[in-house]
Amino acid sequence: MEMLSGAEMVVRSLQDEGIEHIFGYPGGSVLDIYDAIFQSDKIEHYLVRHEQAAVHMADAYSRSTGKVGCVLVTAGPGATNCITGIATAYMDSIPLVVLSGQVPTFWIGDDAFQETDMIGVSRPVVKHSFSCRTAEEIPMAIKKAFYIASTGRPGPVVIELPKDVQNPLNKFPYEYPESVSLRSYNPTLSGHKGQIKRAVAALLSARKPVLYVGGGAIIANASKQVLELAEKLNLPVTNTLMGLGAFPGEHKQFIGMLGMHGNYEANKSMHNADLIFSCGARFDDRVTNNVEKFCPHAKIMHIDIDPTSISKNIHADLPIVGSVEVVLQQMLDLIDETQATNDSESINAWWDQINEWRAKDCLAYKTSETHIKPQQVIQCLYKVTKGDAIVTSDVGQHQMVAAQYYPFKEPRQWINSGGAGTMGFGLPAAMGCKIAFPDRPVVCVTGDGSIQMNIQELSTCMQYNIPLVILLLNNRSLGMVKQWQKMFYGGRQSHSYMDSVPDFVKLSEAYNHIGIKVDKIEELEPALTRAFELKDRVVFVDVAIDPEEHVYPMQIKSGSMEDMYLSKTEKTDA
């Protein structure tokens, strides 16, 4: 058998797991692993400028490809710098394996230099974690980590590797396990047969159904089944912020995103539905509004691979534990077998009602002579990219506007931090996507606040020539915070205004990128066109937008799903 050191085992195990890209930052406790990486020609390592960015890159690499993202960092501050990234992935169920160094085993507990209990610090935001105390444990720990990260409800897994365990002088027999099984961990994939029957019966007899599709449908690669079911039964479909792209954004049965900044027709349909069929969506508080007033007429059906997500916030009348893809396929097979269908007359009547709500055109907005509106920017982006770009975003008003005005055609095209709402996600996320898809246009829609949370990654872009477009909706403020202060805090703008926004064009140029400033609406389309034509450069497009614009619709706090502000002056009558 081949003899390898612990450090070599780490690199070989990753290779044998099929890992091609890894994101990280070196330091004392992982130098042996970095030395082994130096000697490997199979793994491409990207050196970031801050470990948080490495995790976001690996995360978005995973979101855009469906593969597991992989990170390597040193002990102590290297490891703790990853926590925000790990928490971000955890909240959105993204599979990651994060390898962190640790002080030698014989120093653990002695407050040695750069000793941090990474297993303890990361515990609330990981799916699982391993600490390797001998080199021989490494291959199995890595095998298990990838297996756990990517199966069931995916999530991040941390592996801690003490320095002595990596020692290049000590060699051990190496063999990468072919498979792994854990007696304590067996995720359920297919749905209970009886529940499938009941679910089909309930769906077919519903008169006002809504298909409520979340990020779980994307993770499970269930878009095909969602589309087939929706079209077969003529069901209205709404997506969560995390589910955008799971159902085609321009499909006539798509009624828009739902929730806090959801479409009028989507929220109205939910509230008035008689059946809500959740496919991989978890009734998040950003969707339900006040749970006491949530969808009073609806029977709730819920497919989720994670049993804890079912009946956590909203009681499910018909729970089905399983993968969205497998369960929907089971339902489709049963529908085909029985040739059963729903009552098209009542469904048509339901559509008449929905179309009335649609006619309100809740996303219409007023343009202005003096200011560029953020909605115009996203619509222009859609036009220039023909709707084909991978769009990552940061967190704030610009994120909501991107979600509302860029109808995503396919899953894994919209990459955002939905569960954690992590500002600073957008730029490294775009880099991770571009590395995964070098031939596709990738754009990061960002805000003047968010971009500055990981702006140092412009340097990483320079080093590896990762060409992408950064589209900054610059409102010279923490817009989303300001919107809340305007609406709920008597307009007191406590620390939401940024007095010193840098010159982003000069900043981009300092990193040898191209910066374009846009102040007038007529400059917008030419600027974006040029940005996407410059295929081998990072182009930073800084668009001055109307700082007073708010995001609407917006649900009214403590109300039901259908209670919404529709503009600064209009709200639904509750």
Partner 1 sequence: MRRIIAVLLENESGALSRVVGLFSQRAYNIESLTVSPTNDKTLSRMTITTDVVNHAELEQMMKQLHKLVDVLRVTELTQSAHVERELLLVKVRTVGSEAREEVKRTCDIYRGQIVDITQNLYTIQLTGAGAKLDAFIATMDDASEIVEVVRSGVCGIARGDKALRA
Ligand X SMILES: Cc1ncc(C[n+]2csc(CCOP(=O)(O)OP(=O)(O)O)c2C)c(N)n1
Active site residue ranges = 51, 113-114, 163, 480
Structure tokens at 483: 């919107």
Q: How far is the CB of 455 from partner 1 (least distance, A)?
A: 32
Binding site for ligand X (CB under 6 A): 394-398, 421-424, 447-450, 473, 475, 477-481
> What DSSP string describes 20-59?
-EEEEE--GGGHHHHHHHHT-SS-EEEE-SSHHHHHHHHH
Binds 349, which of ligand X, partner 1, Mg ion, none (CB < 5 to 8 A, cut-off by type)? none
**DSSP assigned state of 456:** G
Binds 450, which of partner 1, Mg ion, ligand X, none (CB < 5 to 8 A, cut-off by type)? ligand X
Closest CA to 539 of 422, 444, 424: 444
**Distance between CA atoms of residues 180 and 512, nearest Å:** 47
Q: How far is the CB of 149 from partner 1 (least distance, A)?
A: 11
Binds 381, which of Mg ion, partner 1, ligand X, none (CB < 5 to 8 A, cut-off by type)? none
Binds 432, which of partner 1, ligand X, Mg ion, none (CB < 5 to 8 A, cut-off by type)? none
131 binds partner 1 (CB under 8 A): yes
Which lies closer to ligand X via its Cβ, residue 9 or residue 481? 481
**Distance between CA atoms of residues 427 and 83, nearest Å:** 18
Which lies closer to Mg ion via its Cβ, residue 249 or residue 426? 426
**Distance between CA atoms of residues 482 and 416, nearest Å:** 21
**Distance between CA atoms of residues 67 and 45, nearest Å:** 16
Q: How far is the CB of 158 from partner 1 (least distance, A)?
A: 11
Stretch 153-192: interaction string toward partner 1, x if CB under 8 A: -----------------------------xxxx-------
Q: How far is the CB of 296 from ligand X (least distance, A)?
A: 31
Which lies closer to partner 1 via its Cβ, residue 131 or residue 225? 131
Stretch 35-74: interaction string toward partner 1, x if CB under 8 A: ----------------------------------------
* φ and ψ of 301, to 5 deg: -110, 140
Size, binding site for partner 1 by CB under 8 A: 19
Return the residues of window 312-341 that contact partner 1 according to CB under 8 A. 312, 315
438 binds partner 1 (CB under 8 A): no
Which lies closer to partner 1 via its Cβ, residue 24 or residue 139? 139
Which lies closer to partner 1 via its Cβ, residue 56 or residue 144? 144
Which lies closer to partner 1 via its Cβ, residue 7 or residue 125? 125
Pairing of strands 299-304, 318-321: parallel
Binds 392, which of partner 1, Mg ion, ligand X, none (CB < 5 to 8 A, cut-off by type)? none
Q: How many CB atoms lie within 10 A of CB 270?
A: 26
Closest CA to 163 of 115, 198, 204, 129: 115
Binds 480, which of Mg ion, ligand X, partner 1, none (CB < 5 to 8 A, cut-off by type)? ligand X
Structure tokens at 574: 């509750």
Residues 6+ apart with CB under 8 A from 312: 282, 283
Three-state SS string over 287-350 comes to HHCCHHHCCCCCEEEEEECCHHHCCCCCCCCEEEECCHHHHHHHHHHHHHHHCCCCCHHHHHHH
CA dihedral of residues 240, 246, 250, 252 (deg, nearest 10): -80
Binding site for Mg ion (CB under 5 A): 447-449, 475, 479
Which lies closer to ligand X via its Cβ, residue 366 or residue 495? 495
Length of the chain: 574
Which lies closer to ligand X via its Cβ, residue 166 or residue 477? 477
Q: How far is the CB of 403 from ligand X (least distance, A)?
A: 12
Structure tokens at 549: 């614009």
Binds 423, which of Mg ion, partner 1, ligand X, none (CB < 5 to 8 A, cut-off by type)? ligand X
306 binds partner 1 (CB under 8 A): yes
Q: How far is the CB of 425 from Mg ion (least distance, A)?
A: 15
Pick one of 43, 119, 140, 507: the residue that binds partner 1 (CB under 8 A). 119
Report yes or no: 250 and 213 within 8 Å, Cβ to Cβ. Answer: no
Binds 225, which of partner 1, ligand X, Mg ion, none (CB < 5 to 8 A, cut-off by type)? none
Closest CA to 314 of 345, 288, 337: 288
CA dihedral of residues 51, 54, 55, 58 (deg, nearest 10): -170
Which lies closer to partner 1 via its Cβ, residue 149 or residue 435? 149
**Distance between CA atoms of residues 407 and 244, nearest Å:** 8
Q: How far is the CB of 184 from partner 1 (least distance, A)?
A: 4
Report yes or no: 212 and 276 within 8 Å, Cβ to Cβ. Answer: yes
- Which of 47-55, 68-76, 126-134, 548-556 is the region at the interface with partner 1 (rule: CB under 8 A)? 126-134
Q: How far is the CB of 389 from ligand X (least distance, A)?
A: 19
Residues 6+ apart with CB under 8 A from 287: 240, 258, 259, 260, 262, 281, 561
Q: How far is the CB of 479 from ligand X (least distance, A)?
A: 3
Q: Which spans of this chain sit near partner 1 (rule: CB under 8 A)?
A: 119-120, 123-124, 127-129, 131, 148, 182-185, 306-308, 311-312, 315
